[in-house]
Amino acid sequence: MFKRVLDSYHHRFVSRRLILAIDLTIVVFSFVAACVLRFNFDFTEINWEIYRYYLVFLVLVRWLCFLKFRSYHGIVRHTSLEDVNLIFQTVSVSSLLVAASSTLLAYVSGQIALYIPVSILLIDYFICLFLMIASRFFVKSMYLDISSKSHRTFPQDVIIYGAGSLGILTRNVLLKDPQRIYNIVCFIDDNPTLINKAVAGVRVLDRQSAFEKYIVNNPLKPEIVLAIQNISSKQKKAILEFFLQSTIVVKVVPTANEWLEGTLSSGQIRKIRIEDLLEREPIELDNLNITKQVGGKVVAITGAAGSIGSEIARQLLHYKPEKLLMIDQSESGLYDLEFELQSYLAEHNSLVELVSIVADVTNEQRMRAVFTCHQPQIVFHAAAYKHVPLMEKYPYEAIKTNVFGTQVVADLAAQCHVEKFVFVSTDKAVNPTNVMGATKRLAEMYVQSLNSHLANSTDFIITRFGNVLGSNGSVVPLFKKQIQSGGPVTVTHPEVIRYFMTIPEACQLVLEAGAMGHGGDVFVFDMGEPVKIEDLARRMIQLSGFVADRDIKITYSGLRPGEKLYEELLGNHEQNLPTHHPKILIARLQVVSFQQIQETLLHLRTALKTGDADAMVTLLKTVIPEYISKNSEFQKLDHLQEDISDPR
């Protein structure tokens, strides 16, 4: 029955005229009750011949105030403190007008009968104010009660971590949720002055006391909602780890700038993600310097439809370039990105010109036309093939795009006098064990040698970082799909370790490095602590509400072609120097002569034409001596190199 009633009326609202009629009825009742109370229930003492005119006058003034203040316009089921304040103003003003008017009329006319006793008006004021507020909250309470009974039989217990303003707001939002009924069992707060006190009628406990009382030996475990502003990543991680040990659902409240239309809703309170456990302290950017470098200029991004390129495009809009060239050969990805960014610009009233260009960076004629037409002043080169096992299988494509695509764009940047060319590289270029890493290393070498060879107005800058969470082809989306399908989750090796960074963090550092860099700089990002992939898999299974090895199995598939157990951020003969930014270091790399690189590229082009994969990889190993293949068919070439270098 409750469900039928709610389904019939949840999209309909009470007529304003009906609310006004009810309010006026309360006004009449309040005055009559005030008269009865004033004369101690002795009806013979009340002169209704005069008091009925008092009542008409009071109803008329209140009615005019209701119209003026629009107190009957609110939706009763959503009554809030703002509505209460409006009713208070309306009743107070109308009572004061009646009292002042009756006193003035009696004084001017000399007719005492025109004076309405203040005692009656005071009693009437409090009765009317109470009944108008109570009536609204009564209807709201009835609606919420019917709503909760129609959607859920048993309430969900919730513990809110944080008894501050955000915690109180979270409590209110959960209690108003029409889809579910929540029971706020307690607040948890680390402030000792709040412990064992009540906030918004809910008791505040310390973490350990709440854990022992509501979680230990409780078969129906509550959900934990983290509602704390201004918390460090280290503190946040410690809190999440504490509760995740008990396999309970932990949720977080998004930051205020993520609220829809500036208002928090229960649907925005989400379960924690693996990014929440791996996130680090927010990056502080030199926004003035980045704005100075980017603002009002023509900026080009190659590989704009990819994970890194698209995020660079999003972040660049904050610095208001004059024109943003988004270059990619994926027309679908480019279309989606342009639609997203156009929506952002319309919402923020920004005048950045967006230009989507479908083009292949390896096509010199096409790229020359783009550079000649648009004359970019800053170029972020993110276009590349990055999938290690696939590039191990297709070295031709890796060399063509990662090496010669970089050469095409870098050469055009120099010829068109681009101010800065920022090359997005990878930690897999350090002591590479695969074709992808070797091609990125050779591209680094070319960019550095070009900077030394030309010494012109273009600054060639290299940025180098590790894996990014959630990027196309990364392990996190793969694990999510495997968990959703019931497993198993495949890990290549129990000891494999990787560095991780979020996509926004990586792109922020790319922008910062691009702004601070000078020609020939190679920037290495602080990737934090390395993460064991098996631990990552187990934690993601846990966050999905399952138990590893019981609900979801973990299997080991073995290292894939070209993979190694540990990633490195520095090569054998490299060293890092600090910069003014604590998360960006400068790597000192030995620059290979431009002539040597040119000769290697000439031989590589010949090898590409023949399609001989062994010849291509052999040339890579020749120019990059530290390139030693792992788990790859090209390991045979390492032995061949050893035989050539050893005359025995």
**CA–CA distance, 131 with 29 (Å, rounded to integer):** 10
Helix axes 48-69, 16-38, angle to 10 degrees: 140
- Residue 628 in any domain: the answer is no
Residue 178 has pLDDT above 80, yes or no: no
* Residue 502 resides in a domain: yes
Q: What percent of the chain has pLDDT over 90?
A: 28
pLDDT value for 268? 75
Examine residue 639 and state whether it is found in any structural domain, yes or no.
no
Q: How many structural domains is the chain composed of?
A: 3
Q: 600 to each of 2, 403, 446, 563, 595, how far by Cα in Å?
A: 78, 11, 10, 25, 9
Query: Could you tell me the maximum CA-CA distance found in the chain, to the nearest angstrom?
Result: 131
Helices and strands (DSSP H and E) totals, the chain: 23, 22
Tell me how far apart the alpha carbons of residues 160 and 163 are, in angstroms, rounded to a whole number: 7
Helix (H) or strand (E) holding 535: helix 533-543
Asked whether the beta carbons of 268 and 258 are under 8 A apart, the reply is yes
Q: Are residues 181 and 226 in the same domain?
A: yes
Spatial distance between the Cα atoms of 551 and 488, rounded to a whole number of angstroms:
9
| Total residues found in the chain within this entry | 648
* Amino acid, single-letter form, for residue 125: Y
H-only helix segments in 39-176: 48-69, 81-109, 118-151, 165-175
Same domain for 386 and 531?
Answer: yes
**Domain endpoint, select from 211, 240, 272:** 272
Neighbours of 87 (CB within 10 A): 22
Whether 11 has a pLDDT exceeding 50, the answer reads: no
Q: Distance of CA 119 to CAs 107, 113, 124, 141, Å?
A: 18, 15, 9, 33
- pTM of this structure: 0.68
Phi then psi for residue 41, to 5 deg, are 65, 20
- pLDDT value at position 7? 47
Which pLDDT belongs to residue 646?
Answer: 45
Average pLDDT, the chain: 83
Same domain, 56 and 183: no
CA dihedral 400, 405, 407, 410 (to 10 degrees): -170
pLDDT at 511 over 60: yes
* Predicted local distance difference test score (pLDDT) of residue 10: 47
Return the closest-CA partner of residue 296 out of 347, 352, 346: 352
Domain carrying residue 88: 2-149
Residues 228 and 158 in one domain: yes
Report the range out of 250-254, 357-361, 537-541, 609-613 with the highest average pLDDT. Answer: 357-361
Is pLDDT of 640 > 70? no
pLDDT value for 530 = 78
pLDDT at 262 over 60: no
Nearest-angstrom CA–CA distance, 83 and 85: 5
DSSP-assigned letter for residue 497: E
Distance, in Å, from the CA atom of 100 to the CA atom of 635, rounded to the nearest integer, reads: 99
Last residue of a domain, one of 272, 305, 331: 272
**Residue 339 and residue 220 share a domain:** no
Name the token pair of 60: 């008329």
Q: How many CB atoms lie within 10 A of CB 123?
A: 19
Torsion region of 230: left, alpha or beta (phi above 0 gives left; psi -120 to 50 gives alpha):
left
**What is the spatial distance between Cα 562 and Cα 631, in angstroms, rounded to a whole number?**
6
Angle at CA of residue 392, ends 391 and 398, nearest 5°: 35
Q: Taking residues 567-572, what's their average pLDDT?
A: 61
Higher local confidence (pLDDT), 1 or 336: 336
User: Is there a single domain that holds both residue 214 and residue 296?
Assistant: no
**Apex 98 CA angle, 94 and 103, nearest 5:** 150
pLDDT in tens, 224-239: 888 887 777 778 888 8
Note whether residue 228 is domain-resident: yes
Same structural domain, 475 and 556: yes
Kindly report which listed range (3-7, 208-212, 434-438, 603-607) carries the lowest average pLDDT score.
Answer: 3-7
Cα dihedral sign, 386-392-394-397: positive
Instruction: State whether 423 and 313 are in the same domain.
Output: yes
Q: Which whole number is the average pLDDT over 206-215? A: 88
Query: Where does the pLDDT of residue 644 fall: very low under 50, low under 70, confident under 90, or very high at 90 and above?
Result: very low
Confidence of residue 305 (pLDDT cuts 50, 70, 90): very high
pLDDT band at residue 639 using 50, 70 and 90 as cut-offs: low
Confidence of residue 472 (pLDDT cuts 50, 70, 90): low
For Cα atoms 115, 116, 118, give the angle at the middle one, nearest 5 degrees: 115
Has residue 266 been placed in a domain? yes
- Give the helix ranges, DSSP H, for 307-393: 307-316, 331-347, 364-374, 388-393
Q: Report the range of poorest mean pLDDT among 59-68, 469-478, 514-523.
A: 469-478
* Structure token digits, residue 56: 């008409």
Sign of CA dihedral 271, 274, 275, 277: positive
Percentage with pLDDT > 70 across the chain: 88
- How far is the CA of 104 from the CAs of 100, 115, 116, 124, 524, in angstroms? 6, 8, 11, 20, 82
**635, part of any domain:** no
Choosing from 214, 241, 272, the residue where a domain stops is 272
| Bridge partner list, 161 | 188, 226
DSSP label at residue 1: -
Q: Name the β-bridge partners of 469.
A: 502
Residue 645 lies in a domain: no
Q: Residue 204 belongs to a domain with what CATH number?
A: 3.40.50.720
pLDDT tier, 518 (very low <50, low <70, confident <90, very high otherwise): confident
Distant-in-sequence, close-in-space partners of 293: CB < 8 Å, separation ≥ 6: 378, 420, 514, 515
DSSP string of 484-541, one letter each residue: HTT-PEEES-TT-EE-EEEHHHHHHHHHHHHHH--TT-EEEE---S-EEHHHHHHHHH
Q: Phi then psi for 427, rounded to 5 degrees?
A: -70, -15
CA angle 321, 324, 326 (to 5 degrees): 155
What tens digit of pLDDT does each residue of 438-447 get? 999 999 999 9
Q: Is the pLDDT of residue 122 over 80?
A: yes
pLDDT at position 447, please? 92
Rounded Cα distance, 254 and 157, in Å: 20
**Could you tell me if 293 and 385 lie in one domain?**
yes
Query: Is 386 in the same domain as 495?
Result: yes
Considering the domain architecture, whether residues 462 and 591 belong to the same structural domain is answered as yes
Query: Residue 647: what are its φ and ψ, rounded to 5°?
Result: -65, -15
Indicate if the pLDDT at residue 617 is higher than 90.
yes
Residue 218 lies in a domain: yes
Question: To which residue do tokens 């600054």 refer?
Answer: 459
Kindly state whether residues 418 and 500 are assigned to the same domain. Answer: yes
User: Using N-to-C axis directions, what is the helix angle for 635-645 and 613-623, rounded to 10°?
Assistant: 60
First to last CA, the chain: 93
Lowest mean per-residue pLDDT among 57-61, 153-157, 184-188: 153-157
